[in-house]
Amino acid sequence: MTYENALAYLEKLINYERRPPETYRTAFKLDRVAAFLRLIGSPQDTLSIVHVAGTKGKGSTSCYIAQILHDAGYRTGLYTSPHLQDMRERIRILEPSHAAEGHTMFPGMILKNDFAALLESLMGALEQFDRPSAPYGPLTFFEVLTAMAFKYFADKKTDVVVLETGLGGRLDATNAASSLVSVITPISYDHEHILGKTLPEIAFEKAGIIKAANKKTSQGFGICISAAQMKEAAQVVRRRCRSQNTMFFAMNKDFRYKEMSHDLLTQRFFYRGLNGSSHFFDIRMLGEHQLTNASAALAAVEALSLYGIRVPIEAMVSGLRNAYWPGRLEVVSTQPFVILDGAHNRESAYRLAHFIEKEFEGFKKWLVFGASSDKDLKGISDLLGTMADRVILTRANHPRAADPEKHLKGLFHRKSPLVTHSVEEALDVLNRQMQPQEVAVITGSLFVVGEARSLWQH
């Protein structure tokens, strides 16, 4: 099997990233994933896992944790979604011998030959599992990819694996694995048509990754690290921890941070940790929300010491400094300023608008916007529209992309937006009309950001 054959096979599978399901609880079946994993030898049971769920900051937090563990000398698996440009970004191993990898874009990506061989090794089980008489129904794209990741990490004998939840948590394919530490990033409204209309309903799904102690938690308890949450969400997370005999560590109670300084290259903050220790840290990722993500990552790494996975302060310092997560307040040009950010819900749109207005006061601001049709288009546009002087509307080459003429133009009518029908066309307009002393923000969905990033590199 070639890498191209592997991609073609995966593209034929049911893919809820491309077309969201009409019903969540019938489309997402954890018992189906668990059954397939048993068929291939339950590779996830051999892994020491940090599991990350939440609405915002999952990817960044996972990246911070993985980079810290890498810098501490651990062979670290990292599974994230979606990808920006290359599917192999999702499955990575950060090798401790590769010290310089932290400065590359997606260090440790699975090789094309390894990706193809990995899928080929599972084809017999896939054919057996998906036969017409099988009781569970066909595996989805994300379920197969998750199983591939578990097997790859097990085969490569990783020391620790960091898993980013795909959608929700409770029924997500990644939840077929047990974890040493669960991390809950800030919970807000997103995917309401799938996860629930209220914050407690959404928090219930996210908190589903918090599970009772397992064979790896010899102390008899699990551990949950939670970022600061709105009251309703925090209550749900605490309740879940109590029901699962899980120790609960909350930001601003058990650990905390304070911003010290920032510019458009780095941020510095003071962190006081779980054991009362304290230190100053620098990060390259921008936006105050990244201080939350970095602090949650530090707390998660501290918690791992209860399982004998110890990380020196030097690795925490270098890991945070080296961590990089493209497409999130990423500055790709400074003359003029061009920023990429996958803000795809109200909360992330608010953070982006606040950052741009604060850091670029007095600049003329361009907004290049395209979003998926299942998002809160009005809520996002209301927040982003306030910061923009000029608006270019576009769409990614993706079946979920909202038509800019039909679905977006009316939301920005006061800005007299320019309508384009591809990201490439939008960037052409931007390059022709934008002046050096101005700033442009390309946002709305990671699909738009991924295409823009790829085009910008060329």
Q: What is the model's pLDDT at position 434? A: 93
- Cβ neighbours, 10 Å, residue 145: 23
Arithmetic mean of pLDDT over the chain:
91
Query: Does residue 189 sit in the same domain as residue 296?
Result: yes
Q: In this structure, are residues 295 and 251 in contact, taking their beta carbons and an 8 Å threshold?
A: yes
Q: What tens digit of pLDDT does each residue of 88-141 get?
A: 999 999 998 766 444 457 889 999 999 999 999 999 999 988 877 777 888 999
Q: What tens digit of pLDDT does each residue of 201-260 get?
A: 999 999 999 998 665 555 567 899 999 999 999 999 999 999 998 999 999 999 999 999
395 has pLDDT over 50: yes
Give the span between the Cα atoms of 454 and 458, in whole angstroms. Answer: 7
Query: Does residue 317 sit in the same domain as residue 372?
Result: no
Query: Does residue 334 sit in the same domain as residue 418?
Result: yes
The last residue of a domain, from among 274, 301, 322? 322
Angle between helices 30-39 and 141-155 (to 10 degrees): 40
In total, how many domains does the chain have? 2
Query: Does residue 304 sit in the same domain as residue 358?
Result: no
List the CATH number of the domain containing 424: 3.90.190.20
Highest mean pLDDT among 20-29, 296-305, 447-456: 296-305
List the CATH number of the domain containing 42: 3.40.1190.10
Query: Does residue 52 sit in the same domain as residue 139?
Result: yes
Q: Enumerate the β-bridge partners of residue 78.
A: 92, 162
Query: Does residue 452 sit in the same domain as residue 383?
Result: yes
Query: Does residue 48 sit in the same domain as residue 176?
Result: yes
Domain that includes residue 190, residue range: 3-322
Q: What is the model's pLDDT at position 196? A: 73
Band of residue 343 on the pLDDT scale cut at 50, 70, 90:
confident
Q: In this structure, are residues 381 and 411 in contact, taking their beta carbons and an 8 Å threshold?
A: yes
Pick the residue with more confidence: 415 or 183? Answer: 183
Average pLDDT on 305-322 reads 95
Residues 6+ apart with CB under 8 A from 224: 181, 182, 183, 184, 210, 237, 240, 241, 246, 247, 248, 249
The CB-based long-range contact list for 277-284 (8 Å cut-off, 24+ gap) reads 277/313, 279/313, 279/316, 279/317, 281/316, 281/317, 281/320, 281/321, 282/317, 282/320, 282/321, 283/64, 283/320, 283/321, 283/323, 284/321, 284/323, 284/324
Of the given ranges (12-21, 145-154, 169-178, 402-411), which has the lowest mean pLDDT? 12-21
Query: Does residue 279 sit in the same domain as residue 229?
Result: yes
Q: What is the model's pLDDT at position 100? A: 47
Pick the residue with more confidence: 45 or 374? Answer: 45
The last residue of a domain, from among 322, 340, 375? 322
Q: What is the model's pLDDT at position 218? A: 53
Band of residue 365 on the pLDDT scale cut at 50, 70, 90:
very high
Q: What tens digit of pLDDT does each residue of 148-193 get?
A: 999 999 999 999 999 999 988 999 999 999 999 999 999 988 766 6
Query: Does residue 151 sit in the same domain as residue 283?
Result: yes
Query: Does residue 221 sit in the same domain as residue 369?
Result: no
Q: What is the model's pLDDT at position 215? A: 54
Query: Does residue 284 sit in the same domain as residue 213?
Result: yes
Query: Does residue 429 sit in the same domain as residue 448?
Result: yes
The last residue of a domain, from among 322, 355, 385? 322
- Please, is 151 exposed, middle or buried when counting C-beta atoms within 10 Å of its C-beta (0-12, 13-18, 19+)? buried
pTM (two decimals): 0.91
24 has pLDDT over 60: no
432 has pLDDT over 70: yes
